[in-house]
Structure 1
């Protein structure tokens, strides 16, 4: 997370509303596979932060809107920076699943 992220907290619920209104959007969960398996937002795709360079196999079109989240928003912030460096132009850090108010899929 950057310095200003502490002053401008993201709201995952608002970010999800933007994702749901975007027919071309992709919801990326950059937590570990284990975290994802224990519970994730329906419709999200798991791409652990350590594997973010594999994005091209999942989303080859760099103009695709990406909505990225993790547990707290820190890893997703790092992922957003990496994705932008790789040429993805519409990338948003929507925050952390810990603040998510909806239902999840997967075990607990």
Structure 2
């Protein structure tokens, strides 16, 4: 396991598995980044707000695929979600995740 995976969890390798489980795609970029284009039906919660909105995510009762521009913020978001008992993976950057989603 590489250091990136150790810090941020598995990468987009499990995206298809999570989609099959009904995962919510979570965009953790800024409002302006989100408005500039996002993955269809993605829920938007900037990473800076995520800690205050954990209960909102828990109420979804679904696994989460987090993404951002490069995978760093979504890695932090994934760690936060997991530490709060939420099943989450880091979907990486938007471009990479869009390719995985087809």
TM surpasses 0.5: yes
Q: Distance in 2 between matches of 1:9 and 1:86?
A: 17
Q: Distance in 1 between matches of 2:99 and 2:27?
A: 16
Q: State TM-score, norm by structure 1.
A: 0.71
- Count matched residues: 96
Q: What is aligned with 1:106?
A: none
Q: Please identify the structure whose Cα radius of gyration is greater.
A: 1
In structure 1, the gaps of 5 or more residues are 103-108
Among 77, 91, 94, the alignment partner of 1:79 is 77
In structure 2, the gaps of 5 or more residues are none
Q: State TM-score, norm by structure 2.
A: 0.75
Decide whether aligned partners of structure 1 residues 56 and 18 sit closer, same or farther in structure 2, where only a CA change above 3 A counts: same
State how 1:1-108 maps to structure 2 within 5 Å.
Answer: 4-5=3-4, 10-11=11-12, 15=15, 17-23=16-22, 25-53=23-51, 54-60=53-59, 64-88=62-86, 90-99=87-96, 100-101=98-99
Higher helix share: 2
